[in-house]
Amino acid sequence: MHRADLQHDDKNLQDKLERIFQLRRTKTTVNWDSSLYNSLLEKFGNPHKSLPPVIHVAGTNGKGSIISMLRSILEAQGLNVHCYTSPHLIKVNERIYLAGEQIDDSYLEELIDQALDYIDAAPLSFFEITTAIAFKAFSQISADILLLEVGMGGRLDCTNVIENPLATVINRISLDHTEFLGETLEEIAAEKAGIMKRGVPCIIGYQGDDGSNILNMLQQKTQQYKSVSICYGKDWSVERKNQEMEFSYGDEKTIFPIPALVGEHQILNAGAALAVLSSIKDKISISNEAIEQGLKSVQWAGRLQRLDDINDNEIWLDSGHNDSAGMALAKQIKLWKQENDKAVHLVVAMLKTKDIWAYLSPLLPHIDGLHLVPIKSDPNSWKLSDMHGFSDNIQEHESAEDAVNSIACNTRIVVCGSVYLAGEVLSFIKRLE
pLDDT of 64-89, one tens digit each? 999 999 999 999 999 999 999 998 88
pLDDT range class, residue 425, cuts 50, 70, 90:
confident
pLDDT tens per residue across span 245-304: 999 999 999 999 999 999 899 999 999 999 999 999 999 999 999 999 999 999 998 889
Q: Which of 241, 273, 297 is the last residue of a domain?
A: 297
> Does the pLDDT at position 242 exceed 60?
yes
Domain identity same for 312 and 285: no
Same domain, 326 and 277: no
Instruction: From 252, 272, 297, give the residue that closes a domain.
Output: 297
**Is the model more confident about 186 or about 51?**
51
Q: Is there a single domain that holds both residue 184 and residue 319?
A: no
| Per-residue pLDDT band at 390 (split at 50, 70, 90) | low
**Which structural domain range is residue 395 located in?**
305-432
Identify the band that residue 430 occupies on the pLDDT scale cut at 50, 70 and 90: low
User: Which residues, in sequence order, are bridge partners of residue 237?
Assistant: 248
- Do 274 and 341 sit in the same domain of this protein? no
Residues 23 and 141 in one domain: yes
List pLDDT tens digits, range 303-327: 899 998 888 899 999 988 888 889 9
Check which CATH number belongs to the domain holding 155 and give it.
3.40.1190.10
Res. 210: pLDDT tops 90: no
Asked whether the whole model's pTM tops 0.75, one would answer yes
Same domain, 8 and 53: yes
Residues 292 and 370 reside in one and the same domain: no
Q: Are residues 318 and 272 in the same domain?
A: no
* 290 and 178 within one domain: yes
Give me the number of domains the chain comprises: 2
**pLDDT tens-digit map of 32-67:** 558 889 999 999 999 999 999 999 999 888 999 999
**Domain CATH code at residue 367:** 3.90.190.20
The reply to whether 203 and 276 lie within a common domain is yes
Q: Which of residues 271, 297, 323 is at a domain's end? A: 297
Q: Are residues 240 and 104 in the same domain?
A: yes
**376 and 290, same domain (yes or no):** no
Q: How confident is the model at residue 120, as a pLDDT? A: 79
Of 41-50, 135-144, 194-203, 349-358, the range with the lowest mean pLDDT is 349-358
